[in-house]
Structures are given as C-alpha cells and as structure tokens.
Chains A and B, each alone.
Chain A
Amino acid sequence: MRPGVRKWAWSAVGIVLFAALWQTIHAISGPLILPSLADTFRALVDITASGIVGSTVLATGQQALAGWLLAAAIGCGLGLLAGHVDAVGDAVAPLATMVFATPPIVWVVLALLWFGPGSIEPMFTVVMSTFPIIFASCLQGVRGRDKLLDEMASTFNVPRMQHTVDVVLPQVWAQVLPALATTIAYAWKVAIMAEMLGGGTGLGGQLATARANLDMPEMMAWISVILALVLVCDGLLLMPFRRYLNTRFNTLKLR
C-alpha cells in the first residue's frame, strides 16, 4: 500500500472506531446522555434544511472576527509603543498579565452586567481574552530584536521611519504572526462560550437553546457543525499559514 493511502486507511479506521464507541455509549446510557448517530445526523439535516446554519455561523464569526481584529489592533499598537518606550512597557506589562490571568468566564459575567445579553458581549470577551497574548508577542518582538542590526542601521544613518519599517517590523512580524494564528482559533472558542452563557444568537446561543430544550440530537448536531468549522478553518487558513511561518522562521537565522 502507498504511504498516502495507508495514512487515509488508518484515519478511516479511527473514525469507524469512534462511531462504534459512540453507538456503544448510546446503547448503554440511553438517548438522554448521548443520542444515536442516526438521530444526530437527522437533526443535522433538519437544521441545515431550515437554513439557519449559515446565519448562525455568520453571527458567531462576526463577533469572533471583530473581537480578534480589535484585539490585534490594541495588542499590536500597545506592544509597539511599549517596546519602544520602556516606561510604557513597564507600566502596561503587569496590567496585561492581570488581564491575561483573568479567566474568560469573568469577562463574560462583567460584559453581561455592562452591556447586557445578546449585545457586543461575545466580542468584548474575545478582545479581553486575546489582546494580552498579541500584546506580549509584539512586545517580545520589539524588545528581543537583533541589536546588531540596529547598530548596523545606525552606522548608515538610517532615518527613524526606515529603521522601523525595514529593520524592526519584520522582526516583530515574525513574533506576532504565530500569536495572531493562535488567537484567531481561540477567538472562535471564546465567542461560542460567551454566546452560550449570554444568550447570544450565534452557535453558542443555539447550543444554549438545545440544552434548555434537552434536545440532545440537536445539541450534538450543532457541536458537529462547530467541529466541521474548526477543521475547515484549520485546513484552509491555518495550515497554509503555518507553512508560511516555517519558511519565514527559516529566514530569520542571522547572517
């Protein structure tokens, strides 16, 4: 068997085993704990046919993406400033650590109190949970940059702007890119959790409704939508991204 085929064959074996395990647990513990695969599949067909999958995914996607973009802007802006001005860095670093150490659930609760349910609450939670990661990587990129290159640039009397664009930012970029990749995946999970607890309209909201109705097949159907999304995201967005990063890091060896 060719290695590629063998890999796929083993993946198929894994999926079959997983399905078998699912059915066994269903048979033992009953449909209230775990619905049958057939019921789950039927529920999946139902929600797809009703046409709400697209708008639900879009609602969550908007909150996650808007939050992530805002977090990237805040994290990069603060990180660059803090990296260049030591006083700002020293002042902001402990705050960012505190914010980062705060569990996302705390932000959900605060956001519910501040903004009310079904509002910008998921977005806010995403911002607060992801910007410290981006900030820290940006700060690390600026502070940990190669000082020998700075010195080289200064012997050529490089203007400040060119120095930032041609010497500093490429090094920051190499640090920030992995952080952006990590946080975009994280943003999805946080947004869904915030929606679930805050009665949002997106995927989290659907999960909350299914749970309230004790509709296990629908619950599992939504979970499979989420998993499919994660897989698609990973395959289409993150894999090429990681490949790009690998070549990029290769170029960062100093010469």
Chain B
Amino acid sequence: MLRFADISFAFGDAPAIDKLNLTINPGELAVLLGRSGCGKTTALRLAAGLIQPTGGQLINTFTRTASVFQEPRLLPWATALDNAAFGLKALGVDREHRRLQAAQLLRQFGINEADFDKRPWELSGGMAQRVAFARALAIKPQLVLMDEPFSALDAGLRREMQTIVRDAAKKDNVAVLFVTHDVNEAVRLADRIFVLSAAPARAVAELTNYPPASLAEAYQAGSALLQHPIVADALTT
C-alpha cells in the first residue's frame, strides 16, 4: 500500500503540494489526473523517494517500486536488451538469467528479437518506451510509478501502450500510480482516478472507474467526466 497522508511539499517558498491525501492498494491502477504544472510529477517523485515531503507522512509498504519516466531514459550506449535488464543487474541477477527475463518481457510488449541488439537511437519512440516499461517490470515490482510516459507518442500508439500497461499490471497484480493530464487516458487506464487541483496540488475528487471496452465509450466517459464541475474546474480553468 502507498499512502500520502497530508503530504505537503514546497520548492523553497513556493508550495507545490498542499496536504495531499490518497491511498493506492495492491494491484490497483490509480491515475493522478491534473493539469500541467499542478504538482503531479512532484507527487510521483515523492512516492519514488527522490525527494522528501516538507510535511505529512508518506507510507510505502510495497517491497519494490519501479519508475517509468516521461522520457525513456535508456542508456544510449547499451542495447535494448541490456537496457531492459538494467534493473535486474542491480538486484544481482546473473547475466544469462537477466537477459532471459528481459527478453521475455520485451517479447510480451511486442519487440521483435531482431530489435534486441539495437541501441536506443535506432528505436522508435514507442519502442523505446516499451523497453523502459520492460526495464521497470523486469524487477517484479509491486508498484510502478509512471509519469506521463506516453505523452510524446501519437494517439494510436498511445492507446496501444495503455492496453499494454493495463494488461501487464493486471496479469502480474502490480499496482500502478500513473500521472497524466489527459482525461481519456485516465478513463482508459484507471481503476481509480484522483483529480488534483491546480498548484499547489490537493486531491479534489476520487472516482472509481471501469475502463470502457470501446474507444467511443472511452471518449464518452471522458467528456462526461470533464463536464463535472469539480473536474472541469481542476482541469480547465
């Protein structure tokens, strides 16, 4: 379980997060939905332990947490396979086994064997982000933190990646905290959506969501959500 209890954070005098409360349960796909610059990424960096809160209490009982960033952040000189196996190396898994496990995940995410030896600059944006996702899942985390990882991809590719993330998380019962500013992405992914206010971020709504099967339904649900005054106020004004 990951719990933000009255978490606050400030950059010097500028508050970025103001008494944020939320809980992510095991195996749950939670989306933090908020406008650009509202403090979503800061919340994720707090969850990853990269920065410490200036107030409140952060409890993370998940034994292993992995991160996927806005950019793939692959090692430019290493192959796709070695990049996917990077986290396993840190866990002390030997070369043969970590490459086997990484290869299995790459295949699961639709990367062909022919591309395993390619360097990041030879991969498309979508492929690079799949490798980054494989790198995160390879260490068998209980929680994956994802910071708008598909914002640089085109709409079709983004939908494909959303399906991959949801399927993989559900298959291995991995909890995901996914940050986005895109209502449709939230609707397509989430079990639960936390709507954040403009900066400093507070959770202004917490919604249970059942991802619609069809694209049309997803758009419908997304626009319905946007018409709710609290969500509209948080995202559009």
Interface residues of A (CB under 8 A from B): 148-149, 151-159, 162, 166-167, 170, 248, 250-255
Point out the residue from A148, A153, A157, A166 that lies within 8 Å of B71, measured CB to CB. A148
* B residues 49-98 in Cβ contact with A at 8 Å: 50, 65-67, 69, 71-78, 86-87, 89-90
A156-B66, A170-B77 in contact; A151/B50 too (CB < 8 A)?
yes
Given A151-B73, A252-B77, 11 more contacts at CB 8 Å? A151-B50, A152-B67, A158-B89, A166-B78, A166-B86, A166-B89, A251-B77, A251-B119, A254-B76, A255-B71, A255-B76
Contact B76 A156 (CB under 8 A): no
Taking CB atoms, residues of chain A closer than 8 Å to B75 are 149, 166-167, 170
State in angstroms the CA–CA spacing of A255 and B80 once bound together: 11
Map CB proximity to A onto B114-127 as digits: 1 under 8 Å, 0 otherwise. Answer: 00000111010000
Q: Which of under 10, 10 to 19, 20 to 34, or 35 or more describes the interface residues of B?
A: 20 to 34
B139 within 8 A of A: yes
Shortest Cβ distance from residue A250 to the other chain B in the assembled complex, whole angstroms: 7
| Residue B203 is within 8 A (CB to CB) of chain A in the complex | no
Contacts of B165 in A (CB 8 A): none
Contact between chains at B121 and A255 (CB < 8 Å): yes
Can you report 15 A-B residue pairs in the complex whose CB atoms are below 8 A from each other? A148-B73, A151-B50, A155-B48, A155-B50, A155-B66, A156-B86, A158-B89, A159-B90, A162-B89, A166-B78, A248-B77, A250-B121, A251-B121, A253-B76, A255-B128
Task: Tell me the nearest residue of chain B to A247, going by C-beta.
Answer: B119
| Shortest Cβ distance from residue B29 to the other chain A in the assembled complex, whole angstroms | 19
A210 and B73 alpha carbons, distance in the complex (Å): 60
The residue among A148, A154, A166 with the most chain B CB atoms within 10 A of its own CB is A166
Residues of chain B within 8 A of A152, CB atoms compared: 67, 69, 73
- Cα–Cα distance between A154 and B45 once the two chains are bound (Å): 12
Give complex CA distance A108, B77 in Å.
41
Nearest B residue (CB) for A151: B50
Q: Which residues of B contact A (CB under 8 A)?
A: 48, 50, 65-67, 69, 71-78, 86-87, 89-90, 119-121, 123, 128, 139
Chain A hits for B48, CB < 8 A: 155
CB proximity of B188 to chain A, nearest CB, Å: 25
**Residues in A whose Cβ lies below 8 Å from that of B77:** 170, 248, 251-252
A151 to B: closest C-beta gap in Å: 6
Q: Which residues of A contact B73 (CB under 8 A)?
A: 148-149, 151-152, 254-255
User: Do A155 and B123 have beta carbons less than 8 Å apart?
Assistant: no
- Report the Cα distance A167→B83, complex, angstroms: 11
Please measure, in the bound complex, the distance between the C-alpha atom of A167 and the C-alpha atom of B78, giving whole angstroms.
10
User: Is A157 within 8 A of B90, CB to CB?
Assistant: yes
* Complex A-B, nearest 7 residue pairs according to Cβ-Cβ distance, in ascending order: A255-B120, A155-B67, A152-B73, A156-B87, A158-B90, A170-B77, A255-B128
**What residue of chain B has the Cβ atom nearest to residue A150's Cβ?**
B73
Please report the C-alpha to C-alpha distance between residue A7 and residue B15 in the assembled complex, in whole angstroms.
66
Q: Which residue of B lies closest to A152 (CB)?
A: B73
* Alpha-carbon distance A155/B66, docked complex (angstroms): 7
CA–CA, A157 to B86, complex, Å? Answer: 11
Nearest residue in A to B70 (C-beta to C-beta)?
A148
List, in ascending order, chain B residues with CB within 8 A of A158's CB: 86, 89-90
Residues of A within 8 A of B72 (CB): 255
Cα A51 to Cα B76 in complex, Å, equals: 50
